[in-house]
Amino acid sequence: MQTEHRPQNGYSRTLFPPIEPYDSGMLDVGDGHHVYWEVCGNPKGKPALFLHGGPGGGCSADHRRLFDPQKYRIVLFDQRGSGRSTPYASTENNTTWHLVADIEKLRIMFDIEEWLVLGGSWGSTLALAYAETYPERVSELVLRGIFTARRFEILWLFQEGASLLFPDKWEKFISLVPVSEREDLLAAYSRRLNSEDQAVREEAAKAWALWEGETSTLLPNESTAAHYGDARFALAFAGIEIHYFMNNAFLEEGQLFQDIDHLRGIPGTIIQGRYDVVTPARTAWELYRLWPESEIFIVDDAGHVFNEPGIIHHTVTATDLYASDA
């Protein structure tokens, strides 16, 4: 285990230069869903899959930059209902296990025997679910901001816990909900996010997304807040998240830890911000203790998001390390 004490300007690794996909398209995964996919980097490089957060968040151009484009064949996709996938913001036939099946369809389509899987936040949940289902298809795991969708992890952010650190932001978050409904904020927000009134849905979506976005960074970040506050993004992000969280991410309580033995033999790197309020470090530490093949880096000057300096440093260091093993 390693803990980082360096100041933010002391990290040597940064994102790789911007790149564009050399191929992209839409895959019909069934159930009326088409998922957007793209491939970047070296067509003959080590296969790698990036899994975005949320659920409902979608991929960005900067996610491509976590891998050396000379060494990796980088596959990214927008999960059901997210980003450029269609139908947008749909929760129909949208569960963890649909997404795991979609990943396998992509792997088969690209004729990849095994690949490195990188995921942060919800992406770490999905990466673990996929690796535990298809361990023979995963060469390595790189996981950031670990979330396993246990009930207390969900309630920490959306009922009681994070509110102790962000009382001002919390007050805005709960202001949409009458006092009589505040004992179950997930249910209260679910009703609003599924309202027939577009204005009600949009107001709730923006409040939900902003609460998560504004608590994600160690220091306030205006661009992050603007991204989460965008109405179109918020409708998918909040709507899909509440769908998953009301259903415990379609996992049995503690399932990802119960099935941890399926990861035997898979090397992994866990990267965790010390001051990650969205997915506190306790879960990352538990995963590390239960997974002997893993190493963990707790970054003392980082919160939750992937693009804080210390998180980038360790993510890029890990992908470089595993590229050299190919």
Amino acid 176 reads L
> SS3 of 283, please?
helix
How far does CA 222 lie from the centroid of its chain?
20
d(CA 77, CA 59): 7
Beta bridge partners of 77: 37
SS3 content of the chain, % helix, strand, coil (to 5): 45, 20, 35
Q: Are 308 and 223 in contact (CB under 8 A)?
A: no
| 136-147 residue pLDDT tens | 999 999 999 999
Residue 223 has a pLDDT of 86
| 42-80 residue pLDDT tens | 999 999 999 999 999 999 999 999 999 999 999 999 999
Q: Can you tell me the mean pLDDT for 281-298?
A: 98
Q: Are 211 and 176 in contact (CB under 8 A)?
A: no
d(CA 266, CA 255): 18
> SS3 of 46, please?
strand
Residue 88 has a pLDDT of 98
Q: Are 325 and 71 in contact (CB under 8 A)?
A: no
| 144-202 residue pLDDT tens | 999 999 999 999 999 999 999 999 999 999 999 999 999 999 999 999 999 999 999 99
| Residues carrying an active site annotation | 121, 276, 304
pLDDT at position 4 over 60: no
Domain locations in the chain as residue ranges? 2-150+250-324, 151-248
Q: Identify the band that residue 221 occupies on the pLDDT scale cut at 50, 70 and 90.
A: confident
Q: Can you tell me the mean pLDDT for 107-127?
A: 98
pLDDT at position 3 over 60: no
pLDDT at position 296 over 70: yes
Q: Is 113 exposed, middle or buried (0-12, 13-18, 19+ CB in 10 A)?
A: exposed
Q: Which of 94, 98, 84, 27 is nearest to 232 (CA)?
A: 84
| 257-274 residue pLDDT tens | 999 999 999 999 999 999
Question: What is the CATH number that goes with domain 2-150+250-324?
Answer: 3.40.50.1820
Q: Which of 108, 111, 109, 130 is nearest to 50 (CA)?
A: 130
Residues above pLDDT 90, as percent of the chain: 93
Backbone φ and ψ for 73, nearest 5 degrees, come out as: -100, 105
The token duo for 281 is: 């470090």
Q: For the whole model, what pTM was predicted?
A: 0.96
Helix (H) or strand (E) holding 272: strand 268-273
Q: Can you tell me the mean pLDDT for 282-306?
A: 97
Find all residues with CB under 8 Å of 45, minimum gap 6, and list them: 69, 70, 71, 72, 73, 74, 323, 326
DSSP type of residue 32: T
